[in-house]
Structure 1
């Protein structure tokens, strides 16, 4: 039986127009939306010798007539990888803004700094739809993903406008950015080695299939390795000033999801110690949603952090020697735990007309505090319900800091006994001896253990 003939095809190679149509057809039913013009738009251009399709880098081949082509099998493999991604549109990650107007990178790379690219496009005077009409798909897709279709905008009086993407899309873009960075680093090393070994022939314009397979970026020369507490007890302020720290962090896999490459060093802001390398998605999930420096909103994502994935997250937070020795959490996380767990019986409910369960928690929880962990006798947590039909900004409870920590110790022993067994002031054998050490203190002073 003869195969179907595809116009513009030579062996396994497809022109960009044909490959783009194939990509759109193969990913039409994927949970993550894709763009149809990914390979012919400026951001999908093959002029750099490769194109990004999802989290895959596909090499481009230039023919004698100047046209670029890519492998059909690579397009199909990238599409299969994207179709396998499951996306929960309700599981959102905030991507910005986190400060002033972001500075876009002047780079030929398509994804490096993808968060700054998206926020930069959203903060342009022209809306993304107008930019698309003007012929610039740069505002629509990254690595073939049409992020604009799954972007969520939230507006609050206090926080202003924020932008959110589904966690699956964030992890996919993080993985694509990591693969692209490795690709560029490998390409730079290969080009330098080629210049040393032999001069480049000016007549060599076509890359063979063997070369494409040998330099395939999906098999990096240095695979990601698990984190084995190499940075235990070290201060973030010291590591952040050392050169090549970010490059070394990218060699680890995220300790929480164990899927994406690590991009940041998560650390305790109260004691300054490094916890572990995380991907951007898990680091965002760990970060409290601050309204003000001493005021956070307790969102639904804390359901996992304190219920189904409690042991994993508690173990991660207790990688900080200060939190582990004091058997507590950093103040923002302790406030969130107090609001979500300790004050759960106090939260009002109302009838749920869309569910058979009858009632559902009302409003949005907010936790604020006065004072700090350095003065526990004056520190107090206030739990409030916002957007409650029975009365907005309703105070549920005012919990002293010491009472909250005692309740947390009891809950920790019941919920995660292995974590509780490794905590406490008598577990000081492995404490660091550097600046700001956490030491046992037997007196009744407020600064005990700090």
Structure 2
């Protein structure tokens, strides 16, 4: 046994310095070691149970989500942690640490779905596993970004406006303002489209315009307007007619087409019709069909058309349209400039001579309205007389049985083969007159 256990000992380091030392006894050292081992053995490493009864609701009016859950039963429980993640993501964001059993959150109003989970933790800092996920879908009140890169280019037809695609946009709205002497003309909504380009075919020549574009998402949220894009519309050549077709007709070949979309009809003047590269005729801009009577039986031709504006600028030629005249029965065209008047009991008819080479004569018909249908009777034939220089022909005849009401007179050209519009069932020239009542019998 050591007689000096627990007794202070002085060690002399030098003549003037004394340092006291306390020697630990073997019994004290054994007690400290035992205490350390007990603390390590009693440390809390047990995690709380995952919270249950978790619910999540969403209010579209307040745009808030409320998460609630049941209380845990651990005696050393301190509180809860609430987490949120975007659907499709594996990354959780801690929203709050709380001692209550509910939390109200404001998820981004983007129309996306968000998942919530709750975790419990105790005094020792142990955290439970996450609860069962609960999902809510937010209302979409977030507009897409405004379009950028807007361009406006003169084209034919119209002005072509284009811009960069906006992520999340389902459609785009194009706005336009006519710029005139710096005045504040209204901004008009022109079109809603789904692709990042649009052609304005309603513009007029020699005017200035500004264009804006807004993006709209699936929830109907509209972005701010893009930066304006200014363009000056000069005097452009018009566009050609479209879908030109040529088909056989009893009097020749009938052409049909669709009017050009730009510029507007106000800026257009007429159409020029070409057969095999040569000008055949010109027709008013309001017309969308034409019958070419200057063709031969069974002969094929190729037609093109051009549009001419009021300034005299012609369009490029339309796409060619092939057509073949009927091989037989090609009736002369309807006579032009037909007029008719009653002079007492005598009918006076006048019309322009047909320019066709094979016209033999003209047949004159008188029509009566029977049960809503005009019934015709041929009254006379009038010679064509190709040698005559008079550009008009006429017919005078006393009406021996006047109706005392409306009567229709028709004049039809007949060729040397006997073909006429009357026999083909096509529309022919006619004029309506009022006949006097019959003369009283003597």
Give the TM-score category using the shorter length. Answer: under 0.3
Structure showing the higher strand proportion among its residues: 2
Larger relative contact order (C-alpha < 8 A, sep ≥ 6)?
1
Q: TM-score, normalised by structure 1?
A: 0.15
Higher radius of gyration, 1 or 2: 2
Structure showing the higher helix proportion among its residues: 1
